[in-house]
């Protein structure tokens, strides 16, 4: 079998790429190893300014004009006239993006694992019956997340990684909270993100400042102090790749986490995945396309990475930076959207 463009991975990056290509008249094939599109370890926070224009408002489970931020020295609440962040259910977001792409003309095959990549061809395995198949392509898009096979095929290492741990627990709470504490969460933070009928409680830190075991233990201890007994629930953890080393490799492209475009500072990756997926599609459809949006995204990403590097130098420096940023937010000198990946 031969296709014009094959996209490996049906996360937000792969599906945004597929939908944009299909709308441009190219019918891509999307391959997804999971049986269902959407489910993913994630807190489901989307930035209102950056993302809500790309997904229907009704997908937002809850939206928050107020953000509560806590550091060892400060406890602040910032307010905006419009919501700053909303929460979405990743399965519903994935299903919505998949039907948009398929309605536009993309083909989606789930339960298909890409096992091997050679020049111009992929070896696929159908997970239901174990049958293998060779697929030939003109263009290859790696949208296969933080442990991307396409990225490895291109010979790119992924050394700068963040660790995200999430507990999705039943319940309801009204406040979206961020807790910064160097001792507990390295240069990351813990969060409380309310969803429709559940709460995402988790922590993120750059791997270089905190190992996964310690982050999980600190998260459980901290959550107990907030009134949540996480030991009764199942933790789910994944790496978030922020080691960006390029996206356009001739006839092969990387998007989202596969490209290392998630923010190393906050772990925000849905928006960069969608934006980069769209930009890759426009580049495949029109070789003369000027990737101005991608360039802005890369600039934002570099700004976040510089802050991660600086805050990773020492605990003391990180603690000072966290207090200064919180002070800046409290005084209005720093707008919350400066911490987002939105371009």
Ligand X SMILES: Cc1cc2nc3c(=O)[nH]c(=O)nc-3n(C[C@H](O)[C@H](O)[C@H](O)COP(=O)(O)OP(=O)(O)OC[C@H]3O[C@@H](n4cnc5c(N)ncnc54)[C@H](O)[C@@H]3O)c2cc1C
Q: Using CB under 6 A as the criterion, which residues of the chain lie in contact with ligand X when the complex forms?
A: 8-14, 31-34, 40-45, 113-114, 143-145, 149, 164-166, 202, 238, 240, 256-258, 262, 267-271, 273
> Can you tell me the distance from the alpha carbon of 176 to that of 80, in angstroms, rounded to the nearest whole number?
14
Q: Write down the least CB distance from residue 11 to ligand X, Å.
A: 2
Question: Toward ligand X, which CB reaches closer, 256 or 319?
Answer: 256
Instruction: Scan for tokens 């963040």, then name that residue.
Output: 162
CB of 258 to ligand X, least distance (A): 6
Residues in a beta bridge with 204: 164, 189
Contacts by residues 102-105 (CB-CB < 8 Å, ≥ 24 positions apart)? 104/19, 104/22, 104/23, 105/22, 105/23, 105/27
User: Residue 220's Cα: distance from chain center in Å?
Assistant: 23
H helix runs in 37-128, sequence order: 48-51, 90-104
Smaller CB separation from ligand X, 166 or 305: 166
Q: What distances in angstroms separate CA 129 from CA 32, 113, 251, one per listed residue?
A: 15, 12, 31
Structure-block tokens of residue 50? 């950056």
End-to-end CA distance of the chain: 39
CB of 94 to ligand X, least distance (A): 8
CB nearer to ligand X: give 95 or 317.
95
Smallest distance, Å, CB 322 to ligand X?
19
Residue 309: CB minimum distance to ligand X, A: 20
Nearer to ligand X, 15 or 319 (CB): 15
CB of 44 to ligand X, least distance (A): 5
Name the residue with tokens 């224009």.
53
Write down the least CB distance from residue 73 to ligand X, Å. 26
Smaller CB separation from ligand X, 141 or 319: 141
Q: What is the nearest approach in angstroms of ligand X to the Cβ of residue 331?
A: 26
Handedness of CA 145, 149, 154, 156 (dihedral sign): positive
Round to whole Å and give the CA distance between 301 and 306. 9
In terms of Cβ atoms closer than 10 Å to its own Cβ (0-12, 13-18, 19+), residue 129 is exposed
Closest residue to ligand X using C-beta atoms:
269
Distance CA 271, CA 262 (A): 8
Nearer to ligand X, 64 or 319 (CB): 64
Cβ atoms of residues 161 and 269 within 8 Å: no
Q: Which of 267/312 has CB closer to ligand X? A: 267
| Closest to ligand X by CB, 273 or 281 | 273
- Distance (Å) of CA 181 to CA 119, 205, 208: 47, 11, 16
Cβ(90)–Cβ(196) below 8 Å: no
Task: Report in angstroms how near the CB of residue 264 gets to ligand X at its nearest.
Answer: 11
> 185 or 319, CB closer to ligand X?
185
């Amino acid at each position: 079998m031969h296709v014009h463009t094959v996209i490996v991975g049906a996360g937000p990056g792969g599906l945004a790429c597929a939908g944009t290509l299909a709308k441009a008249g190219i019918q891509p094939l999307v391959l997804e190893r999971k049986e269902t599109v959407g489910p993913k370890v994630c807190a489901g926070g989307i930035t209102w300014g950056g993302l809500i224009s790309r997904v229907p408002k009704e997908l937002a489970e809850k939206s928050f004009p107020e953000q509560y931020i806590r550091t060892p020295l400060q406890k602040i609440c910032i307010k905006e006239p419009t919501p700053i962040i909303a929460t979405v259910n990743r399965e519903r977001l994935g299903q919505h993006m998949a039907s948009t792409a398929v309605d536009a003309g993309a083909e989606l095959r789930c339960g298909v694992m890409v096992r091997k990549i050679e020049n111009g061809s992929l070896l696929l395995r159908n997970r239901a019956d174990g049958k293998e198949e060779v697929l030939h392509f003109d263009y290859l898009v790696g949208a296969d997340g933080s442990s991307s096979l396409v990225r490895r095929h291109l010979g790119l290492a992924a050394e700068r990684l963040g660790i995200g741990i999430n507990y999705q627990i039943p319940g309801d709470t009204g406040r979206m909270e961020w807790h910064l504490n160097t001792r507990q969460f390295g240069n990351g933070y813990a969060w409380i993100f309310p969803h429709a009928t559940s709460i995402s409680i988790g922590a993120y830190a750059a791997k270089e400042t905190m190992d996964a075991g310690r982050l999980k233990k600190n998260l459980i201890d901290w959550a107990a102090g907030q009134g949540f007994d996480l030991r009764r629930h199942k933790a789910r953890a994944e790496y978030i790749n922020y080691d960006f080393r390029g996206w356009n490799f001739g006839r092969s492209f990387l998007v989202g986490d596969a490209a290392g475009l998630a923010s190393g500072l906050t772990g925000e990756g849905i928006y960069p995945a969608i934006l980069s997926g769209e930009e890759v599609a426009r580049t495949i459809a029109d070789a003369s396309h000027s990737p101005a949006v991608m360039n802005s995204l890369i600039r934002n990403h570099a700004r976040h990475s510089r802050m991660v590097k600086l805050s990773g130098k020492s605990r003391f420096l990180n603690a000072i930076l966290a207090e200064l940023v919180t002070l800046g937010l409290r005084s209005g000198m720093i707008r919350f959207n400066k911490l987002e990946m939105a371009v």
